[in-house]
Amino acid sequence: MPKTLNIATINVNGIRAAHRNGFGDWLKANKPDIITLQEVRAELADVEKVLADIWPEANIYLDEATAKGRAGVAIITELTPTRTSTTFGSEEFDSKGRWLEADFDIQGETITVVSTYVHAGEAGTPKQIEKYKFLDQMLVRLHELKDQKAVITGDLNVGHTELDIKNWKGNLKNSGFLPEERAYFDRFMNELSYIDIGRREHPDEPGPYTWWSQRGQAFDTNTGWRIDYHLATPALAEKASNYRVHRAKSYDTRWTDHSPVTVDYSI
C-alpha cells in the first residue's frame, strides 16, 4: 500500500503569538506528517518550547533570519530527513530565514520538501530589488529540482493570476501583483513545468484565498490573496490530492493572518 504523506504549510506570523492564539489546537487536531512554517520569528529554543507540550516527538529544522525577530522558516516532522540544506544562491543578498529544504526517504523514494518565505517587497524600493534577486535564485534552484519528486511550499508573496487576488485591479502597481513578479510564476509553471496544486484543484474559481489583511473587514468580506502555495514537480504532482485551505471559522478564531494549506501525497 502506498504511504500517504500529509504536508501542511503555514505562515504563523510569529510562532509564539500563534501558539498563544490556537496554533497548538490546530496542530493536534490535524496532525500533518510534515509541516512547513514561515515567519517563525524565533530561535530554536523558542520553537522547542512551543512544541514541547503539543508535539514532543517532532524533529525541528529551522533556518533563522539574520535579523532577530524577523522571517525564519522551519520544517517540523517526526520523520528523519536524509539531508537538509539552507544553501540558496550567492551572498549578494540576504536569504537567511527564507529557504530550507529537506529530503525524506519514503518507501524507497526521495521526496524533497522546501519551506520558503519570499520577500514581501515594495514597488520602487530596494526591498523590491531584493525580492527579484530571491526570485531569480528560485528559478535556478527550481530548475535543478524539476526532474525530481519535490514540492515548494510556503508564503511566496505573489498572486499569480487575477483569480488569486480579490481586488486585483487595485493592486496592479503594488508588490505582490506586479507583472514582473507574475512573470516569474509563468516561468515556474510553463518553462519548468511545476504544478500549482491549488490552482489545479480550483481551475476557474477565485482563490481559495490564504491571506487577508488585518485591517478593515478583509477577512469577513473574503477580500483576500492566494499567496501560500504547494508547487510540485510533475513527478510528485501526479501523486497529490485533497488540497485544502483551512480557513478559520471567524475573524476572532484566527491564530495568524494566513490559513494553513494541506495536501496529501501518495507515495
The domain in which residue 240 lies consists of 4-266
Instruction: Tell me the C-alpha to C-alpha distance, in Å, between residue 237 and each of 9, 114, 176.
Output: 16, 14, 25
Q: Quick one: what percent of the chain has pLDDT higher than 70? A: 99
The bridge status of strand 228-232 relative to strand 195-196 is antiparallel
For residue 12, what pLDDT is reported?
98
Which residues, at least 6 apart from 172, have a Cβ–Cβ distance to it below 8 Å? 178, 179
188 pLDDT more than 60: yes
Torsion sign across C-alpha atoms 246, 248, 254, 257: positive
Residue 233: half-sphere exposure toward Cβ, Cα within 13 Å? 18
| d(C-alpha 150, C-alpha 240), whole Å | 11
pLDDT bracket for residue 135 (50, 70, 90): very high
Asked if 176 and 161 count as a contact pair (C-beta separation under 8 A), the reply is: no
1 pLDDT more than 60: no
| d(C-alpha 190, C-alpha 192), whole Å | 6
49 pLDDT more than 50: yes
- CA Rg, the chain, in Å? 17
Residue 254: half-sphere exposure toward Cβ, Cα within 13 Å? 20
| d(C-alpha 247, C-alpha 110), whole Å | 31
| d(C-alpha 258, C-alpha 246), whole Å | 9
Mean pLDDT over 18-23 rounds to: 96
Quote the Cα angle for 258-261-263, to 5°.
175
pLDDT bracket for residue 73 (50, 70, 90): very high
Q: How many domains does the chain have?
A: 1
Tally of CB atoms within 10 A around 215: 7
For residue 68, what pLDDT is reported?
83
Mean pLDDT of the chain: 96
The three three-digit cell numbers of residue 176, written as one number: 505582490
30 pLDDT more than 80: yes
160 pLDDT more than 70: yes
2 pLDDT more than 80: no
CATH of the domain at 107: 3.60.10.10
pLDDT bracket for residue 166 (50, 70, 90): very high
Tally of CB atoms within 10 A around 185: 21
Tally of CB atoms within 10 A around 242: 13
For residue 53, what pLDDT is reported?
86
Q: Quick one: what percent of the chain has pLDDT higher than 90? A: 92
Instruction: Tell me the C-alpha to C-alpha distance, in Å, between residue 266 and each of 21, 240, 241.
Output: 32, 7, 8
The three three-digit cell numbers of residue 113, written as one number: 520538501
Strand positions, DSSP E, the chain = 4-11, 34-38, 59-63, 73-77, 83-85, 99-106, 109-117, 150-155, 195-196, 211-212, 224-225, 228-232, 240-245, 261-266
For residue 3, what pLDDT is reported?
85
Q: What is the pLDDT of residues 114-127, one digit of tens each?
A: 999 999 999 999 99
pLDDT bracket for residue 93 (50, 70, 90): confident
For residue 195, what pLDDT is reported?
98
Whose cell is 494541506? That residue is 262
For residue 112, what pLDDT is reported?
98
For residue 74, what pLDDT is reported?
98
